[in-house]
Chain A
Amino acid sequence: MNLLDKLLIVSGLAFIAITALRNYRINDKLSPLWYLALTAILVLMSGVAYENTTIVSGLHYQILGFKLNWQFDSLSWFFAIITVVAALASSIFMSGDWARYYREKGGNYGMLQVALIANVLSMFLLLASSDLLTLFIGWEFVSWASFFMMILRPTSEAKKAAVKYAIYAMTGAMALLAAMVVIYTAGGSFEFKAVSIAFQGVSFLGQVILVVLLFAGFAIKMGLLPFHLWQAIAYAETPGPGAAFLGAISSRMGLFAIVLVIIKLVGLSNLAEMKFGANSINMQNIIAWIAALTTIIPTYIALQQHDAKRLLAWHGVGQGGYMLLGIMMFDSIGSAGGLMHVLNHASYQAALFLTVVAVVYRTGTSDLNRLGGLVTQMPLSFLVMLIGIIGLAGLPPMNGFVSKWMVYRSLLVNGQPLLFVAAVLGTLGTILSVYKLIHNTFLGQLRMEHREVREAPWSMMAPMLGLSVIVFITGFMPGLIMPWIASVQESVGLPAVEYTLGGIAFAKGGLDMIWVSGILFYGFGVGAVIFYLLGGKSKRVHQFDNYAGGHFLSSDVRYHYSNNFYPGLMHLIGTWYRGSFKWFEGVLVSIVSFISALFENMYRSRQPVILLVAVVLAGLYVVYKNYAGVVS
């Protein structure tokens, strides 16, 4: 029994155990141990990443002449370790006080735990897929497991979002199924190598259809444009830590599949050579532009949100664009940036979501209009959010900066100034909206009803702090995780990045985060010395012992809102928010509705015999056309 067998069996056992014990309190404390065990197995398996080997599981299943088996390579391992750490953090977070709180609110905590382990198990199965059929099965498992998690919240909005997701997921699955049968027909099997064979076998049109179907199937899961509408609401409506887990990793399964099937199997050269028209538009550019637009549009939708969870969830959609954009540059640093961003995003997104959930736990709301000034009450949570948003905005010294720097660098080196501008626009929107997030939650005016609020309990603080340590450490010394990324690049056929402990060794200008961070902290240090030692006397005053604009600020004067937060900016870009995609979605539904109404009318007809005669005549006519003259 090798490590992969153990991983799958332990996660299966965990699923069974958690399901069986879901109504017992002992489960609350036991379930994090399962994730700890899974993490330990994955750490033992890290040879897969460092030495770039493949483990084939001994488990297999024969069905209808297809052999299903599972394997792990560095790509699978990279996504699996992120998954399991996100799950571990979420499960610790929800194991203590939060569980009590959730039960008191009438939630079914046992089911939430079942949903979490179901997600982890199904993701392992997907990541371990060894052919298209196991990929599809894993894919469906992941989709329905996350549907299960989304539907747990009883509000009708959550249910609507979940059902919308189910429809999108089904569309993606059917696109994938169609692509699978095209490959099966052309290549004769579901083996991964049949993809390349099939690709050579089909016509240009067939190739385009194949790539479009595969890409659309995977893009729906990732929430890439134009399939971005479902994700943010569905994730934001998932119960607390579940949202953190889904937001951190769930939609990245789409990226995993894109890297595996489209990058590794279809191949980079095939994408680049798939040219349209006389100009230099090829599939690579198209996908890169989809990625770039995904960084912009959802990010600016996030800017308009007034709910902390939705704001973060919309950023989750937007950040996916950076990952794909980097990978689509097909070079060493761009793709390394894209892949690293998966890990980085998972770490800060989970930290941010958990912080928001902690705030909700203490205050009861995630509405930014009803929060503010919590820094005095929840200083550690503030620190976690600060670290998280620096990461999300892609500023030094956090890990988000490293990955985004690599993507920018690659865009510039590859001569893509327009894409670069798009990426920068996205980052601008991110910075603006994360400032809105932290300002409206922790800074500004403390509301009267929040004066008694205390810091989140340690069961919640511990995973939050742990994640922020990851955000900082991987930003300070990216070299710690760079070997994994280099292995992934090698295994999927991308040029491997050259790295140092502090960052990237790159001929056209590398990056050393130890220096960058050092200088940054040196600057802060100098500032602090000037401020605290050389500055004049300072006095601490209470928040309400203050005045502005000739008025005393007291708690009954509310001056802290997230509505119309950037009036100047909105004056400039406000007219661009037209909801075109929503409109388009509505149009599709209307078309289906119209055609259905036509069919319904037909079924309502009161003269079915006439229909019968008509269909007989039509059938006879067809026969006559084909057989006129052939007399028996």
Chain B
Amino acid sequence: MNKMILLIALPLLAAFLIPVVAKFSATVSRLLGPVVLAFVLVFVALQWNVVGRDSFAIFLGGFLPPVGIVFYVDHFSLMFSAIIAAMLLVVWPWGQYTAIRQQSLYMLLAASSFGLVLSSDLFNLYVFYELLAVATYGLVANQPHKAAPAAALRYLFVSCAGSVMLLIGIGIIYTITGTLNIAHLATMIGKLHGLAGLSAFILIVVGAGVKAEMFPVNSWVPEVYGTSSKSLSALLAGLISKLAVVLILRVLLMLFQVDVVLDLLLVVGILGVLSGEMVAWRAKDVTRMLSFSSIAQLGLVFVALSLSGTIGLWLAVGLMLHHLLVKGGLFLLADSMPGSFNSLKGLARRSPILGAIFLIFIFSLLGIPPFPGFWIKLMLVINLAQQDDVLYQIAIGVVLFATVIEASYLFKLVRIMYQKNDENIIKPPQTSTSGMNLLYAKFFALIVVVSMPFVSPISDRLKDMSRQSVNAENYIETIMSQPKLGGQS
């Protein structure tokens, strides 16, 4: 299905067209982006059944692997494409009439994100990852907050350093094997499982880890989220961090299921969970608290990834989707909250619905039954317990301890929000987006609530999806044994 290329081509085209069209008609240029994204959503929905149980590959430019560009389409990549489109629609800067540049950047971000989830070749992954990074630099630097440029600059430094690591890692792999096609690499896994190959993987993980909020290369997180608009924070915390994880996932699942790697991921995950929750505990304003809580949740994803194979991917995807909903929702909700804790007094009394949504999100985040977060946490802990290594038992302890810390700061906030406060009511900042974002937050909360009875079917789907994605033989076969050009298997 060559049509799949539209996923990248259309947003990219839109990104360049928006400024041009804006010269002629502001309305058309404003609608261009959402229309493209809506189209992508519909397109993905139509493709869903086409993919079925068999994934397929697309070869661009008529070059057969291992040369040429290959896209690999399975339910996993389709699901992420749909999520990217939906999430971008949610954070789309509708209200800001002047933000043509921002809209362009969002479309660029869309194009690179779709590319990232579809690529099955290390070099392409790198290219799209860089494109994504450039788009985020632009967005972060464009924020009205006066500290935004400084935050963006520091983010740029560390992110570039990460990209260099990533590139070195990819270079090493190329030197060892002479190819960058992941399927091709998967056929010569033996070559990679040596000192050089694993070193390359370490470099890739750390490099991509910068955006995946991995401990300890995530110090940009609080600063950037603190200066960005809540919509952008929702996007960065909810989605972009997950895309970096997807990059790591592709490489990890196909090439590096090695004990030492898994152990390293586990250690990084544990430290991420612990440090994130503990610093969030000291936070004095909402954004900072959410940022560090986000770091902790990404740590949890790394802990899940350290479980090998289907289970690991299944749990990681479950955690990511849950975090996307909950943390995305919380950031959107935070748009209607004044920043510091002191000014939050009595907020939930004045706006009960806001309080209720906040409670739904944090209950799910903490993993309290019957919210979906509970089942994910339960499955994670059960699967951690089934490993023999003592490191995994430590992980259980840390995850549970971190939950207690998490509960203590979240409920501290609940207490403040429900406190009686008649004097000095501080009005929340009425940004142009807060009304819309509150609506989206309600919608996210609704999804969390509605998904409660459907935990089993969702989890089964995710498991099937993970099985499909983890299946290396299928992956190699789909990509490497393509007799025809541009065809579908």
Tell me the bound Cα distance from A608 to B195 in angstroms: 26
Closest B residue by C-beta to A106: B420
Tell me the bound Cα distance from A136 to B367 in angstroms: 12
Contacts known (A177-B381, A622-B260, A623-B260); A163 close to B157, Cβ less than 8 A: no
Counting CB contacts under 8 A, is B308 at the interface? no
Counting CB contacts under 8 A, is A557 at the interface? no
- The proximity string for A residues 597-632 relative to B, scoring 1 for CB distances below 8 Å and 0 otherwise, is 101101111001101110110011011101110111
A81 to chain B, nearest CB (A): 26
Closest B residue by C-beta to A184: B382
Tell which of A167, A622, A631 touches B264, judged by Cβ atoms closer than 8 Å. Answer: A622
Contacts known (A181-B382, A615-B217, A616-B206); A170 close to B366, Cβ less than 8 A: yes
Contacts of B206 in A (CB 8 A): 612, 615-616, 619
Counting CB contacts under 8 A, is A564 at the interface? no
Instruction: Give the B interface residue count (CB, 8 A).
Output: 70
Contacts of B144 in A (CB 8 A): none
Listed stretches A39-47, A338-346, A588-596; interface member? A588-596
Taking a contact as CB atoms under 8 Å apart, the answer to whether A632 and B191 are in contact is: yes
Listed stretches A82-90, A154-162, A394-402; interface member? A154-162
Taking a contact as CB atoms under 8 Å apart, the answer to whether A628 and B195 are in contact is: yes
Counting CB contacts under 8 A, is B131 at the interface? no
Tell me the bound Cα distance from A62 to B455 in angstroms: 10
Counting CB contacts under 8 A, is A469 at the interface? no
Counting CB contacts under 8 A, is A435 at the interface? no
- The proximity string for B residues 201-223 relative to A, scoring 1 for CB distances below 8 Å and 0 otherwise, is 01101100010000011111010
Taking a contact as CB atoms under 8 Å apart, the answer to whether B282 and A596 are in contact is: yes
Listed stretches A137-145, A372-380, A566-574; interface member? A137-145
Contacts of A623 in B (CB 8 A): 195, 198-199, 202, 260
Contacts of A511 in B (CB 8 A): none
Q: For chain B, residues 379 to 421, give those with C-beta under 8 angstroms from any C-beta of chain A.
A: 379, 381-382, 384-386, 396-397, 400-401, 403-405, 407-408, 411-412, 414-415, 418-420
Tell me the bound Cα distance from A620 to B196 in angstroms: 10
Contacts of B202 in A (CB 8 A): 616, 619-620, 623
Counting CB contacts under 8 A, is B193 at the interface? yes
Tell me the bound Cα distance from A149 to B193 in angstroms: 58
A404 to chain B, nearest CB (A): 36
Q: For chain B, residues 419 to 469, give those with C-beta under 8 angstroms from any C-beta of chain A.
A: 419-420, 455-456, 459
- The proximity string for A residues 37-63 relative to B, scoring 1 for CB distances below 8 Å and 0 otherwise, is 000000000000000000000000011
A412 to chain B, nearest CB (A): 41
Tell which of A62, A156, A178, A620 touches B397, judged by Cβ atoms closer than 8 Å. Answer: A178
Contacts known (A170-B403, A174-B401, A595-B278); A63 close to B194, Cβ less than 8 A: no
Give the number of residue pairs across the A-B interface with Cβ within 8 Å. 166
Taking a contact as CB atoms under 8 Å apart, the answer to whether A632 and B158 are in contact is: no
Taking a contact as CB atoms under 8 Å apart, the answer to whether A64 and B278 are in contact is: no
Q: For chain B, residues 325 to 372, give those with C-beta under 8 angstroms from any C-beta of chain A.
A: 363, 366, 368-370
Contacts known (A166-B411, A612-B158); A602 close to B216, Cβ less than 8 A: yes
Taking a contact as CB atoms under 8 Å apart, the answer to whether B382 and A632 are in contact is: no
The A contact surface, by secondary structure, is helix
Tell me the bound Cα distance from A154 to B415 in angstroms: 10
Counting CB contacts under 8 A, is B301 at the interface? no
Taking a contact as CB atoms under 8 Å apart, the answer to whether A592 and B403 are in contact is: no
Tell me the bound Cα distance from A163 to B411 in angstroms: 6
Among A141, A608, A609, A628, residue most surrounded by chain B Cβ atoms (within 10 Å): A608
Taking a contact as CB atoms under 8 Å apart, the answer to whether A136 and B369 are in contact is: yes
Tell which of B176, B192, B279, B368 touches A600, judged by Cβ atoms closer than 8 Å. Answer: B279
Contacts of A141 in B (CB 8 A): 369
Counting CB contacts under 8 A, is B225 at the interface? no
Contacts known (A163-B415, A174-B401, A592-B278); A64 close to B220, Cβ less than 8 A: no
Counting CB contacts under 8 A, is A390 at the interface? no
Closest B residue by C-beta to A170: B407
Taking a contact as CB atoms under 8 Å apart, the answer to whether B195 and A609 are in contact is: no
Tell me the bound Cα distance from A83 to B203 in angstroms: 60
Contacts of A619 in B (CB 8 A): 202, 205-206, 264
Taking a contact as CB atoms under 8 Å apart, the answer to whether A185 and B217 are in contact is: no
Counting CB contacts under 8 A, is B190 at the interface? yes
A149 to chain B, nearest CB (A): 14
Counting CB contacts under 8 A, is A151 at the interface? yes
Tell me the bound Cα distance from A612 to B459 in angstroms: 35
A68 to chain B, nearest CB (A): 10
Contacts known (A605-B219, A619-B205, A632-B197); A63 close to B455, Cβ less than 8 A: yes
A593 to chain B, nearest CB (A): 7
A560 to chain B, nearest CB (A): 33
Contact sample, A vs B, 20 pairs, CB 8 Å cutoff: A63-B456, A140-B374, A141-B369, A151-B414, A154-B418, A155-B420, A156-B419, A156-B420, A163-B408, A167-B407, A181-B396, A603-B275, A603-B279, A604-B219, A608-B154, A608-B217, A616-B202, A622-B264, A632-B190, A632-B195
| Additional A-B contacts beyond A599-B275, A612-B210 (8; CB < 8 A) | A144-B368, A154-B420, A167-B404, A596-B281, A597-B282, A603-B218, A611-B217, A627-B195
